[in-house]
């Protein structure tokens, strides 16, 4: 899971603009579901769960069961924001998932 925080510029309601654009089909590959709380992509697996508070959009990018699939969705979403809505964004903060550290596996000794 990748966490993204989008900080809007003053006086801009970017969340409402994005939701309306997805519902009207202006963003062709991105779609909103679940009453505007979930974003999906046409081709890439996974979804984005997002919420909005004044001036900030909090996003969690979830991939499918395939490892590394959230990066495709994250890249498509971020690219679309940079292409069309860069003037409305003050800052984007990204938190990457922590690497899972586990015990190393030992080779099993074969019985003779």
- Average pLDDT of the chain? 87
Q: Global pTM?
A: 0.78
Distance between CA atoms of residues 31 and 25, nearest Å: 8
Is it the case that residue 95 has pLDDT exceeding 70? yes
- Which domains are present in the chain? 2-95 (3.30.70)
Give long-range contacts, CB 8 A cutoff, 24+ apart: 15-20: 15/50, 15/52, 15/57, 17/85, 17/88, 18/57, 18/85
More confident call, 51 vs 102: 51
pLDDT of residue 98: 74
């Amino acid at each position: 899971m990748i966490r993204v925080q989008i900080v809007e510029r003053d006086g801009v309601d970017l969340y409402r603009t994005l939701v309306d654009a997805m519902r009207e089909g202006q963003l062709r590959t991105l779609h909103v579901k679940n009453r505007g709380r979930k974003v999906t992509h046409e081709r890439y697996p996974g979804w984005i769960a997002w919420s909005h508070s004044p001036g900030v959009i909090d996003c969690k990018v979830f991939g499918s069961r395939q490892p590394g699939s959230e990066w495709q969705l994250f890249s498509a979403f971020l690219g679309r924001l940079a292409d069309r809505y860069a003037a409305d964004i003050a800052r984007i903060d990204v938190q990457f998932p922590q690497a899972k550290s586990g015990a190393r596996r030992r080779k099993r000794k074969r019985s003779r």
